[in-house]
Structure 1
Amino acid sequence: MIELSLAEIATAVGGRLVLSPAGGSQEDRISGESQTDSREVQQGQIFFARRGEEMDGHRFAAQAVDAGAALIVAERETDDRVPQILVADTTEALGALATEVVRRVRAAGVLKIVGITGSNGKTTTKNLVAAMAERVGPMVASAKSFNNEVGGPLTMLRVEEDTRTLVAEMGASAEGEIARLTAMAPPHIGVVLTVGLAHAGEFGGIETTFRTKSEMVRDLPAEAVAVLNRDDAYVTRMGDLTAARVVWFGRNPEADVRASDIDSDASGTRFTLHIAGDSLPVVFRVLGEHHVTNALAAAAVGHELGLSLADIVAALEGATRAARWRMEVLGGRDGVTIINDAYNASPDSMSAGLRTLAQIGKPEGRTVAVLGAMSELGEYSIEEHLRIGLQAVRLRISELVVVGVEARNLHISAINEGSWDGESVFFAEQDEAFDYLARTLQPNDTVLVKSSNAAGLRFLGDRLGEAFA
């Protein structure tokens, strides 16, 4: 974080500064990062004592001070060994400080802000854009999937005076949340990847999802850039909603940044990248043809950041996986390949994962889909689980292993399809599924493990990866 005095921080968050009896002044300066988890606090950092649904950060203020916190922002007085700033709402204070820090750095004229949203692919695209931004100069990018009202500001507060690019993943579970994040860090480049059924249960339907995702580009000024997916019908509609210059990406021949000659196998995807009349071949080692969309979005951002086509291709080819638990290739013993893609799952990403499995399976082995529940689909849940089960059959996946009661409709749909006879099995618990797979997987099998984060199948994927390492 840029260096600020205690008084400046108090003003930014609209709080009351309480100095420690041990001494100090309101002109004392702080430049450490901010944390909301006392276990993450390091020397000189700021601890925001948030009240969550299950935990109250005020209870852990002493641990934060023990770990080296130089300042506590809280809603009531806690540990007086360090200065405290008392506010009405700690989460709002976190956002307010992020807004002020970004405003100051942006005003210096060096910082470029890239905001990324979409129903699928945000983290992968963020990682690819970050790899390109590193070629421009010092950059800050969201850690893990920090993309909400807490993770977003924590990322923004890592910006310093020499930061050239802030790459901010911006997610939402309700209307208005992306707008709040873009108000904190107004993007110079706003990216929208897809509009799908992810979180449809929380949003209340696809049209609400569309309105929410379009918040990324609605308020962009004319001098900004909206990077939009030409292959997604809902995202295409956003071109009429923004005053910004639009850059289209996709496979569509009309896209400004597009891919052709796409060919996928177990080693990744090869395609030709076209930008501004030039083209180069790309060997993209991130598994799954659907990730070409994310690569194109990142390439469009890289071009807007001033990178040459050669540098863009080099950044793409340097990526070896989307992210932890996202199309992560494990295993290898006896030719068994485990693809752990169980960090998130929506109907779109589940469908894409199955298509990838069908494409890359070895002729001498089987394809095995180990699937768990897709969360947050609301009224669409039964229909979409049934549809995915049917798709597994129609793609001729060799075996479907369904794990967890919430995912049972996947199994029911598959066994109701007359062309299958015993190729779908169901287990209520992960341990049962692991024992079965460890016993029955055959040499050269290719296994996809896919579920929403809440279903926890990423841990089953890791176990299988270790068992067949």
Structure 2
Amino acid sequence: MKLPLSRVAEFLSATGEFDHRAIAEGYSIDSRTLRPGDLFFAVKGERLDGHDFVEQALAKGAAAAVVRKDQLARYSVKTRLLAVEDTLVALQTLATAVRRLWGKLVVGVTGSAGKTTTKEAIAHLLATRYRVLKSEGNFNNHFGLPLMLLKLQPEQEVAVIEIGMSHAGEIAALAKIAQPEIGVVICVAPVHLEFFNSVSEIARAKYELIASLPAGGTAVLNADDEYVSQFGRDFKGKVVRFGLKAPADIRAEHIQQCGALGSEFDLVVDGCREKATLPLVGNHNVSNALAAVAVALERGLTPSEAVEALRTLAPADRRGQVVQLGNITVINDCYNSNPKALNAMVDVLAAIPAKRHIVVAGEMLELGSSGEELHRRAGRHMAEKKIDVLLGVRGLAQPMVEAARQAGIRAEFVPTPETAGEWLAQETRAGDMVLLKASRGVKLERALETWQSRQAIVPSGRN
């Protein structure tokens, strides 16, 4: 939302020398991607401090820069600087003010897996009737969420915002900024165990989204998840449940998996039955789609309209994308991973006919002291599903490989994604189906890039 700097300074209680009539055309924390007219926030990240890049941002045409008061002395020219006590707090404060000024519906989405796919599905369905802002990529933390809210424009009618966390209290803090009226919780799974003592603690952290909703809000909950299904017990607003197995308001029945093309199922709502086609692979994505349908119906779409919109839903980048390398089919799901998500995609792979099923699985991060055992369980699960070959990539993928090998399947380990790409170029053959999955930090997409460069094939597929 465009704002005059005088209004920004008012919201932030900022001081300094700047043109009060100048307009902030956009907002940035990265001088590399900043556009002329943006307001630059000099926030401090894990590795870099934005205060080191203020002059670069102003030279690129920033309308002004928001800096900490204790950093003012380092700048020889102090014009176009708005001084505040804390730049991250300032960013979040301005986002909160813009959200209130905008004043329309925010849908918040969280869960241990499936957040981005569900957010994309909700936005896709709602866009058939409303002007929608959705989180870009996984802009779901204390930096990204405020930046997304600052993109709100007066003409937009709904915002669909992804809310992530790695520590208790984070969702509550982000929800205080976003102020969602509809909260969607997909699932609870053993992720971020480096920062939690148990899955129950993770569940309590995810519940913060429901606890943040207003009394007249709506909680959209997964009836099939043992934790999420209980989130509505003490909630005073409206509860809508979706599911494949447990009794639910929005259900999928007679699910038929169609290999790499996705699935077909009956959408059942209040006795109404509609035949649905979903171009995303796996039962877990059917569940994600049901969450999106639940939100769409709350906003006035009919079941038939929701089903029609699902037909044109596409997978998000590196989240279940199906591509072809010659006669080899690749499921590119390498954006992120955790034990539950990995097992779900292994199940998808195993159910699709192919000459060989190959899993390229990078290590799963932030699993704490349970990490090695959870990787071993994943390896055994692959053996149970009769995967032909497991290629483990980096770190804790080693015990996953060991467990899979002990359970009777071929399993190898490589230290880097680039080495995995070399292996794929040499070892795969026509008729194979390959799953790529790993935690974001592994950067497993480099395996696909290396493989493609060795094959000299331009991939074709559904985006």
Per the shorter chain, which TM-score range?
Answer: over 0.9
Distance change >3 Å, CA 231–CA 79, structure 1 → 2: farther
Identity rate, percent: 35
Cα displacement string for residues 381-438 of structure 1 (whole angstroms, at most 9, x for unaligned residues) = 0110000000111100011111213310011101222x34xx1112223333322221
- Change beyond 3 A, Cα 1:251–1:386: same
Match of 1:30 among 17, 23, 26: 23
Deviation at 1:31, TM superposition (A): 4.4
Does structure 1 residue 183 correspond to structure 2 residue 176? Answer: yes
Structure 1: state its 5+ residue gaps: none
After superposition, where does 1:313-392 map in structure 2 within 5 Å? Answer: 313-321=307-315, 323-333=316-326, 335-362=327-354, 365-392=355-382
Q: What is the aligned partner in structure 1 of residue 263 from structure 2?
A: 269
* Contact persistence 2:362–2:394 (CA under 8 A): yes
Q: Distance in 2 between matches of 1:314 and 1:200?
A: 39
Q: Distance in 1 between matches of 2:446 and 2:95?
A: 34
2:264 aligned partner, one-letter code: R
Structure 1 segments (4+ residues) deviating >4 Å: 78-82
How many aligned positions are there?
Answer: 451
Counterparts of 2:244 and 2:226, CA distance in 1: 13
Structure 1 residue corresponding to 2:403, chosen from 404, 410, 413: 413
Alignment of 1:226-237 (within 5 A): 226-237=219-230
1:435 aligned residue (412, 418, 422): 422
AA matched with 1:162: E
Report SS of the residue matched to 2:227. helix
Per-residue deviation, residues 45-68 of structure 1 (Å, max 9, x unmatched): 111011112111111112222322
AA aligned to 2:417 is Q
SS of equivalent residue, structure 2 residue 231: helix
Alpha-carbon distance in 2 for matches of 1:163, 1:80: 38
The letter for the 1-side match of 2:432 is: D
SS in 2 for 1:255: coil
Contact 2:421 2:446 in 1 (8 A): no
TM-score between the two structures when normalised by the length of structure 2:
0.94
2:84: which partner in 1?
A: 87
Segments of 5+ residues of structure 2 without an aligned counterpart are none
Q: CA deviation at 1:10?
A: 1.6
Name the structure 2 match of 1:447: 434
The residue identity in structure 2 corresponding to 1:402 is G
The counterpart of 1:205, out of the listed 191, 198, 201, is 198
Contact 2:36–2:62 (Cα < 8 Å) also in 1: yes
- Give the match's secondary structure for 2:165: coil
Q: Give 1:281's match in structure 2, choosing from 261, 268, 275.
A: 275
Counterpart-to-counterpart distance in 1, 2:50 and 2:431? 49
Choose from 80, 93, 96 the match for 2:93: 96
Distance 1:72 1:381, change over 3 A: same
> Is the 1:199–1:377 Cα contact (8 Å) retained in structure 2?
yes
SS across alignment from 1:387: helix
CA distance in 2, matches of 1:35, 1:387: 42
What amino acid sits opposite 1:7 in the alignment? Answer: S
Q: Secondary structure at the match of 1:85?
A: strand
Match runs of 1:147-296 below 5 Å: 147-252=140-245, 254-264=247-257, 265-296=259-290
Q: What is the RMSD computed on CA atoms of the aligned residues?
A: 1.7
Equivalent position amino acid for 2:357 in 1: T
- Paired amino acid for 2:225: D
SS at match of 1:19: coil
TM-score of the superposed pair, with normalisation by structure 1: 0.92
Q: State the alpha-carbon separation in 2 of the partners of residues 383 and 162 from structure 1.
A: 50
Instruction: Report the secondary structure of 1:172's partner residue.
Output: coil
Letter in 2 for 1:179: A
Amino acid at match of 1:246: V
Aligned equivalents of 2:60, 2:353: Cα separation in 1: 49
- Asked if structure 1 preserves the Cα contact closer than 8 Å seen for 2:176 and 2:212, the reply is no
Q: Pairwise mapping of residues 454-469 of structure 1 onto structure 2 (< 5 A)?
A: 454-465=441-452, 467=455, 469=459
CA–CA separation in structure 1 for the residues paired with 2:246 and 2:387: 32
Deviation for aligned residue 1:153: 0.3
Determine if the alignment matches structure 1 residue 13 to structure 2 residue 12. yes
1:213-239 deviations in Å (ceiling 9; x for gaps): 000001322211000000001001111
Distance 2:365 2:262 in 1: 28
Aligned amino acid, residue 344 of structure 2: A
- The residue identity in structure 1 corresponding to 2:419 is E
Distance 1:12 1:442, change over 3 A: same
Aligned residue for 2:65, secondary structure, equals strand
The answer to whether the Cα contact below 8 Å between 1:191 and 1:228 also exists between their aligned partners in 2 is yes
Q: Is the 8 A contact 1:218 1:243 kept in 2?
A: no
Distance 1:243 1:32 in 2: 40
Partner of 2:240, secondary structure, is strand
- TM-aligned CA deviation for residue 135 of structure 1: 2.1
Is the contact made by 1:434 and 1:464 (CA closer than 8 Å) also made in structure 2? yes
How far, CA to CA, are the matches of 2:134 and 2:360 in structure 1? 32
Distance 2:164 2:234 in 1: 19
**Structure-1 separation of matches of 2:3 and 2:421:** 52
Q: Which residue of 1 aligns with 2:390?
A: 400
Q: Which residue of 2 aligns with 1:309?
A: 303
Deviation of 1:454 after TM superposition, in Å, equals 0.9
State the 1:5 CA deviation.
3.1
**1:268 is matched by which residue type in structure 2?**
G
Equivalence map 1:31-110=2 (5 Å): 31-75=24-68, 76-77=71-72, 78=75, 80=77, 83-106=80-103
Residues 79 and 465 of structure 1: is their aligned pair in 2 closer, same or farther, counting only changes over 3 Å?
Answer: farther
